[in-house]
């Protein structure tokens, strides 16, 4: 009876090969299972094998480990020979955005090729005396150069290249040792391309195997694939030497045991997808044994089949674009979740795609409604003198809790004086009116904080409507053809702030972009010696940094190219140092964050390929800059007046929303478990802050009609990706606490449906919530706590950077089937998967990473 050694046997295909070979008691005498560590699943197989399975530790990337394993195997064989060697260990990762971004080729070659070579040559002396002399390398149809164009949809170039090299290694060994009676064979165990002549479909049809690498959505079960591999190995003869064989599974046209071409045929044209073309999506087709196909497209769709629509001209659908981006990333390789959960993710993708199209149509039908005057509102001809006097009386010390803007007290006094004298006419009159009315609206927001009388609140709300209508009337008088000037810039920015307060984010961006162009035309962004600036310089600088803040924040939100030119100094330096406003530290933090958003947007919107390392380095730098902001965020919060404490909680929502975007950009480039966990932790923190604000609206400035005013500088101004990250996690992990968090927010927001934009956001969030609800039906009432489907062996540390360095190599982070990352022996193979986009247990692993666990949750009343 034969003895068999299998590498990479701790899980997946390797594990099932061990089990099935051990069950063949009439053919196989001993199965030697090797891996870096013996997993729990492998231990269970060994326990039920009645001594027919032996575990030997073997790290294919470590030559010393291979040598030690040979000694142990030789001792265990006790003068017997090794008959069959199956190289199953390997690694796999994905590269989004083109082969030029591939950065882990060397690592994959070292494991998938060099590792296999070292194992083969080390075990050749033991195999030489055996009867079968079979060496089988587990490869993939992705390695076929003949079919390269047909599998171009799979974004794993390093994996394809390494497996093609493994095939070449197989041929070289077969040629070199064929006279000695060896059989070297490459086997495709799961990924296959159905020949086009067997189907009338025009698209390539692919099948694959349900391993950790293949995912639960694959067609063949791991048992089916392993059985087919064993059958092929046991039946292989000298005719198979140097061949690349496909497995044979009855009833599957794509698995008919055929030989796979791996060379480029003469005169073959390798078609590549042209610019703007979508690669063909992987499809499934199973036959009934007579060649008739049964598609199961109802199992789900691939992200490629739903092209992401562009952002509307009015920017109204940016939230569904964000949702689609998050969900597509997870569907790119959703593993370890049930078909029901995958179906829900697919439904969510279809939902946001439909909403994107629907909202695009709605925005065209209802565009421009914001500038329609309300006939019930009487608009004054000019700002009433009493209003001017009221605003002039604002104290200029720390007791002034008005939100600062780009109009200083001295500038406002000059504008008010001109209007009172009546000497201001024409274009300048309307520019001043907009600035004054918008400042008045902001002042009313702050008055609402201290007004407890219902009649007073009603009158404040009515005054706001009047001032809004008056400001809109003057905005209509703007003429973009007039020469640029500081008053024009100030009025455009006041108009932009008004649009922000009205929830008209696209109009806000447009007006601010006009201001940015005028600033560039006048050269105001070219700042010289900041410390020695005059009062006129301070007035200009105030307009410059506010324009910069709005531009970078909204451009990042709407994924548009910034309008404000780059500056040679940090805009934070332009803030006057003598301001006593309690909001000063908060403005500085928001400006610092806006600069980071600008850098992140530039990274996300590169038109030309950039290196993998460049993306990772930039993301690391941006994350470090955000972490530098955090201590200031905490210390300034602690020293701020109690009356504006909740404004700092709103800043938390914004801060963590930006962190989520940084982490997601990093993850789209390369996966690491800790970054996934931090992304989820930041999403939770952002939404926990937002839920607190919704539950304590009385402490925020503004009104509740038609929605809480604070939404205009939180929900409307920063990315909604924390919601979508958490929804994906809920679907993948059935996390009751996170589901309750999102449900609480949606319930609080559902009272405010009058505004079109908020209604769109609610429509999306409510629909996603309804998709999640069936997952929680039948669960124990009151069940709480976050499930831990997989545990990571993270070192205990309170330093996030230490944890990242200890946990995984930040430049690759992928781990393959069979063995854990050989660079880090502390991480058990069962705990990590091979793909950069795994849905449930990585980005959505529910434990907070080290460093975040010490955050003061008591700030939001979350300590129970």
Examine the pLDDT at 300 and tell me if it is beyond 70.
no
Under a CB-based contact definition with an 8 Å cutoff, are residues 165 and 113 in contact? yes
Q: Please check whether residue 16 is in contact with residue 212, taking contact to mean a CB–CB distance below 8 angstroms.
A: no
| Torsion sign (Cα): 85, 89, 95, 99 | negative
**Are the CB atoms for 286 and 224 separated by under 8 Å?**
no
46 — pLDDT class (breaks 50, 70, 90): very high
The tens digit of pLDDT for each residue in 819-848 reads 333 333 333 333 323 333 333 333 333 222
- pLDDT tens digits for 68-85? 999 999 999 988 899 999
**Structure confidence at residue 576 (pLDDT):** 81
What's the rounded mean pLDDT across residues 526-536?
A: 77
Of the pLDDT bands very low, low, confident and very high (cuts 50, 70, 90), residue 1 is: confident
Q: In whole angstroms, give the CA distance from residue 321 to residue 328.
A: 10
Alpha carbon distance 183, 186 (integer Å): 10
Distances in Å between the Cα of 513 and the Cα atoms of 429, 509, 545 are: 22, 6, 13
What is the reported pLDDT for 8?
Answer: 93
Least confident of 52-56, 108-112, 413-417, 496-500: 413-417
Q: How confident is the model at residue 258 (pLDDT cuts 50, 70, 90)?
A: low
Residue 284 has pLDDT above 90, yes or no: no
Residue 307 has pLDDT above 60, yes or no: no
Label residue 699 by pLDDT band (50, 70, 90): confident
pLDDT of residue 338: 63
Q: What is the mean pLDDT of residues 707-726?
A: 88
Q: Where are the domains of the chain?
A: 2-246, 300-356+582-864, 368-558
User: Quick one: which H or E segment has residue 343?
Assistant: helix 339-365
Is the pLDDT assigned to residue 344 strictly greater than 60? yes
Strands of the 183-188 sheet, one edge to the other? 53-57, 28-35, 2-6, 84-87, 134-138, 183-188, 243-246
Model confidence pLDDT, tens digit, residues 96-145: 767 888 888 898 999 999 999 999 999 999 999 888 999 999 988 777 77
Q: Which pLDDT score, from 0 to 100, does residue 256 have?
A: 54
Q: Note the pLDDT tens digit of each residue in 144-203.
A: 777 777 677 678 888 899 999 999 999 999 999 988 899 999 998 865 444 433 333 223
Of the pLDDT bands very low, low, confident and very high (cuts 50, 70, 90), residue 780 is: very low
| pLDDT given for residue 856 in this prediction | 39
The average pLDDT across 635-650 equals 87
DSSP state of 622: H
Cβ atoms 331, 346 nearer than 8 A: yes
Share of the chain above pLDDT 70, in %: 71
pLDDT band at 358 (very low <50, low <70, confident <90, very high): low
| 430 pLDDT above the threshold of 80 | yes
| Best CATH choice for the domain 2-246 from the list 3.40.50.9100, 3.40.50.300, 3.30.465.10, 3.40.50.720 | 3.40.50.720
- Please report which confidence band the pLDDT of residue 775 belongs to, taking 50, 70 and 90 as the band edges: confident
| C-beta of residue 89 within 8 angstroms of C-beta of residue 111 | yes
H/E segment holding residue 804: helix 800-807
**Residue 565, Cβ density class (10 Å: 0-12 exposed, 13-18 middle, ≥19 buried):** middle
Per-residue pLDDT averaged across 456-474, rounded? 89
What is the model's pLDDT at position 583? Answer: 85
Mean pLDDT along residues 639-651: 87
pLDDT value for 857 = 34
User: pLDDT, tens digit, for every residue of 674-684?
Assistant: 888 899 999 99
The pLDDT score that the predictor gives to residue 251 is 52
Mean pLDDT of 793-821: 32
Q: What pLDDT score was predicted for residue 112?
A: 93
When pLDDT is averaged across residues 607-625 and rounded to a whole number, the result is 85
Top pLDDT among 859 and 685 is at 685
């Amino acid at each position: 009876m034969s003895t068999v050694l299998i590498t990479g046997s701790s899980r997946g295909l390797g594990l099932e090969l061990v089990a099935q070979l051990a069950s063949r008691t009439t053919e196989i005498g001993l199965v030697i299972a090797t891996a870096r560590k013996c997993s729990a699943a492998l231990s269970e197989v060994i326990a039920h094998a009645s001594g027919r399975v032996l575990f030997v530790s073997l790290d294919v990337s470590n030559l010393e480990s291979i040598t030690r394993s040979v000694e142990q195997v030789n001792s265990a064989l006790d003068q017997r020979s090794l008959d069959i060697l199956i190289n199953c260990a390997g690694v796999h990762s994905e590269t989004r955005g083109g082969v030029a971004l591939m950065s882990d080729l060397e690592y994959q070659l070292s494991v998938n090729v060099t590792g296999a070579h070292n194992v083969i040559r080390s075990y050749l002396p033991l195999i030489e005396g055996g009867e079968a002399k079979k060496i089988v390398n587990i490869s993939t149809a992705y390695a076929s150069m003949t079919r390269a164009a047909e599998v171009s949809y799979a974004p794993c170039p390093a994996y394809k290249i390494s497996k093609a090299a493994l095939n070449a290694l197989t041929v070289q060994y077969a040629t070199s040792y064929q006279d000695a009676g060896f059989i070297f064979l490459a086997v495709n165990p799961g990924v296959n391309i159905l020949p086009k002549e067997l189907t009338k479909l025009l698209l390539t049809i692919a099948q694959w195997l349900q391993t950790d690498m293949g995912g639960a959505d694959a067609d063949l079960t791991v048992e089916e694939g392993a059985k087919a591999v064993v059958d092929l190995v046991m039946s292989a003869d000298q005719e198979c030497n140097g061949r690349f064989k496909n497995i044979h599974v009855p009833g599957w046209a794509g698995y008919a045991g055929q030989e796979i071409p791996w060379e480029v045929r003469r005169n073959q044209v390798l078609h590549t997808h042209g610019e703007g073309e979508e690669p063909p999506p992987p499809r499934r087709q199973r036959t009934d044994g007579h060649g008739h196909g049964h598609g199961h497209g109802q199992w789900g769709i691939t992200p490629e089949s739903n092209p992401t629509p562009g952002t509307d001209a009015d920017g109204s659908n940016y939230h569904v674009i964000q949702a689609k981006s998050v969900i597509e990333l997870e569907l790119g390789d959703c593993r370890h979740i049930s078909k029901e959960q995958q179906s829900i993710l697919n439904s969510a993708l279809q939902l946001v795609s439909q909403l994107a199209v629907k909202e695009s149509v709605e925005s065209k039908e209802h565009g421009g409604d914001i500038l329609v005057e309300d006939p019930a509102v009487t608009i004054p001809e000019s700002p009433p003198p009493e209003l001017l006097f009221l605003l002039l009386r604002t104290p200029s010390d720390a007791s002034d809790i008005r939100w600062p803007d780009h109009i200083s007290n001295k500038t406002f006094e000059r504008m008010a004086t001109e209007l009172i004298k009546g000497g201001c006419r024409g274009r300048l009159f309307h520019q001043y009116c907009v600035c004054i009315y918008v400042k008045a609206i902001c002042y009313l927001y702050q008055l609402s904080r201290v007004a407890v009388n219902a009649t007073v609140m009603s009158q404040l709300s009515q005054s706001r409507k009047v001032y809004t209508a008056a400001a809109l009337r003057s905005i209509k008088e703007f003429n973009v053809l007039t020469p640029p000037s500081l008053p024009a810039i100030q009025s455009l920015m006041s108009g932009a702030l008004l649009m922000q307060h009205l929830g008209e984010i696209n109009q806000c961006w447009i007006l601010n972009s006009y201001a940015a162009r005028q600033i560039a035309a006048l050269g105001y962004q070219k700042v010289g010696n900041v410390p020695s600036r005059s009062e006129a310089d301070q007035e200009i600088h105030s307009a410059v940094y506010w324009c910069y803040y709005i531009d970078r924040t909204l451009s990042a939100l709407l994924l548009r190219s910034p309008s404000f030119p780059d500056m040679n100094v940090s805009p934070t330096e332009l803030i006057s140092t003598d301001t006593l406003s309690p909001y000063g530290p908060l403005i500085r933090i928001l400006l610092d964050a806006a600069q980071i958003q600008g850098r992140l947007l530039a990274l996300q919107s590169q038109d030309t390929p950039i290196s993998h390392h460049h993306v990772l380095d930039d993301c690391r730098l941006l994350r470090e800059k955000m972490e530098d902001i955090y201590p200031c965020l905490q210390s300034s919060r602690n020293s701020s007046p109690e009356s504006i404490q909740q404004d700092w909680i709103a800043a938390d929502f914004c801060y963590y929303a930006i962190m989520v975007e940084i982490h997601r950009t990093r993850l789209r480039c390369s996966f690491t478990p800790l970054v996934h966990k931090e992304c989820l932790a930041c999403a939770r923190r952002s939404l926990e802050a937002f839920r607190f604000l919704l539950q304590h609206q009385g402490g925020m400035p503004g009104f509740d009609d038609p929605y809480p005013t604070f939404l205009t500088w939180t929900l409307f101004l920063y990315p909604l990706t924390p919601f979508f990250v958490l929804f994906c996690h809920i679907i993948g992990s059935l996390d009751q606490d996170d589901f309750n968090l999102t449900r609480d927010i949606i319930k609080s927001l559902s009272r405010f449906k009058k505004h079109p934009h908020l209604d769109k956001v609610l429509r999306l969030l409510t629909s996603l919530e309804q998709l999640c609800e069936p997952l929680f039906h039948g669960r124990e009432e009151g069940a709480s706590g976050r499930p831990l489907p997989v545990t990571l062996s993270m070192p205990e540390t309170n330093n996030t950077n230490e944890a990242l360095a200890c946990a995984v190599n930040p430049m690759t982070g992928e781990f393959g089937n069979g063995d854990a990352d050989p660079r880090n022996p502390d991480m058990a193979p069962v705990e990590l998967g091979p793909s950069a986009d795994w849905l449930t247990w990585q980005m959505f692993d529910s434990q907070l990473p080290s460093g975040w666990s010490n955050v003061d949750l008591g700030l939001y009343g979350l300590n129970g």
